[in-house]
Amino acid sequence: MPDTIAVDSGDTWTVAGRSFRSRLIVGTGKYKDLEETAAAIKASGAEIVTVAVRRVNLSDPGAPMLQDFVDPKVYTYLPNTAGCFTAKDAVRTLRLAREAGGWNLVKLEVLGPPPHLYPDMMATFEAAEALIKDGFEVMVYCADDPVGAKRLEDMGCVAIMPLGAPIGSGLGLTNPAMLSMLIEQTTVPLLVDAGVGTASDAAIAMELGCDAVLLNSAIAHAKDPIRMARAMKHAVQAGRDAFLAGRMPRRMGADPSSPLTGLIR
Partner 1 sequence: MSGLTITLNGEPRVFPTPISVVGLLEALGLDARKVAVERNEAIVPRSTYAQTLLESGDALEIVHFIGGG
Which is closer to partner 1, CB of 77 or CB of 136? 77
* Smallest distance from partner 1 to CB 167, Å: 7
User: Which residues between 117 and 156 bind partner 1 (CB under 8 A)?
Assistant: none
Among 22, 67, 76, 198, binds partner 1 (CB under 8 A): 67
Cβ-contact 78, 49 below 8 angstroms: yes
Which is closer to partner 1, CB of 117 or CB of 155? 117
* Smallest distance from partner 1 to CB 113, Å: 17
Residue type, 168: G
What is the pairing mode between strands 13-15 and 18-20? Answer: antiparallel
Among 8, 13, 22, 29, binds partner 1 (CB under 8 A): 29
Among 24, 53, 84, 152, binds partner 1 (CB under 8 A): 53
Q: Give the contacts of 211 (CB within 8 A, at least 6 positions apart).
A: 13, 23, 159, 189, 190, 191
If you write DSSP's letter for every residue of 181-236 in order, what string do you get?
HHHHH--S-BEEES---SHHHHHHHHHHT-SEEEESHHHHTSSSHHHHHHHHHHHH
Q: What are phi and psi of 6, to 5 degrees?
A: -70, -50
SS3 label, residue 25: strand
> Rule CB under 8 A: is residue 166 a binding residue for partner 1?
no
> Rule CB under 8 A: is residue 30 a binding residue for partner 1?
yes
How far apart are the C-alpha atoms of 75 and 50, rounded to whole Å? 10
> Rule CB under 8 A: is residue 162 a binding residue for partner 1?
no
> Rule CB under 8 A: is residue 115 a binding residue for partner 1?
no
Catalytic residue flag (residue 107): yes
Among 58, 248, 252, 264, binds partner 1 (CB under 8 A): 58
Contact letters for partner 1, residues 212-231 (x by CB under 8 A)? ----xx--------------
Cβ-contact 29, 49 below 8 angstroms: no
Q: Which stretch binds partner 1 (CB under 8 A): 44-52, 229-237, 242-250, 256-264?
A: 44-52
Query: How far, in whole angstroms, is CA 207 from its chain's centroid?
Result: 15
73, 107, 133, 233: the active-site residue: 107
> Rule CB under 8 A: is residue 90 a binding residue for partner 1?
no
Cβ-contact 211, 28 below 8 angstroms: no
Q: Which of 125, 119, 121 is nearest to 195 (CA)?
A: 119
Q: What are phi and psi of 209, to 5 degrees?
A: 115, 15
* Smallest distance from partner 1 to CB 183, Å: 22
> Rule CB under 8 A: is residue 75 a binding residue for partner 1?
no
Task: Enumerate the active-site residues.
Answer: 107
> Rule CB under 8 A: which residues touch partner 1?
27-31, 34, 37, 50-56, 58, 61-62, 65-67, 77, 79-80, 82, 92, 95-101, 167-168, 194, 216-217
